[in-house]
Structure 1
């Protein structure tokens, strides 16, 4: 029996470590990505944000070797048991399901949240790994810790001056620049956004 795709031509897919049975990711597949996964025995997803097929691990190297593929009782969801070659989550965690929910606080879909920071951090991590010659981020890493720290100081000063000038648009831009350079410093010191969220949570008690 064929699986049932939704109105967008996609089906939700859960990946699970075949050895530990830990749930790793929740993503989507299209008809084409299902077929490529079956043919290549490597996990292929469909990116809704980029509207294209993508192979798990194509940029990070953290691929998923397929051990089995099963549909649920209604054929509208898929479970793929895999042998991962590295962390499944772009944050560096083994599983994407690492955020503990302790209350019923819900964010609306149009709110900006920590995932934006984590996505930017993941991109910075990839630049550090690949070190492309035309990347500003790579040049920062190559310049060393002192230079990165100097840039953080410069951006902090520019942010403060923009705030004093009471120009909201300029201040938003400077804060964004500061956050970016802070994330570069974090990556350079192997500090993750999760480390920061944990510390901030401790301070809110």
Structure 2
């Protein structure tokens, strides 16, 4: 058991060795620890697997997720055969030291069914309605996930696919155009027009953030820092 249990370890992969991270983990009696995998950009939970010290070491060496299969009793490199690899951006160890979180940049769906996340089966009616109590930004979260999925899957005929394939210059052009349309709508004193154009602008900004691999959470964090009382 590690003497470091009791605090959270969060580090970019490049800033910590596998041995240092292993020392912060409380391995179970089989030498395993649950590993939660999260999309670094959208924060969507993609899957859960198990790691041992060897898979942890290989994850550091490859820069991609490697796990231990309890059913097969062997190591497995995620995406080695399917191509749906996961580049590791950062590790976290929880306060008890008995669970790790890997933030990744996925190269394709995480689930063997082809779904983006293994947690695609939901109870209830699916995505919360926009404006639902306690979750007024649910539509932003849903849109952020959809845009990230579109970048990976590139479905034919989708407008978001078109933007990603045209590249950053096209996305920037659209952001500029929509910003100008917002200004015109405001000058026209048209609430309906402003609502419509602002929606277009927010959508294209989310596409830009995804293309730049800048999580929306970082933007919100910057706003929170600016809002701190002086």
The alignment's TM-score, normalised by the length of structure 1, stands at: 0.50
The alignment's TM-score, normalised by the length of structure 2, stands at: 0.45
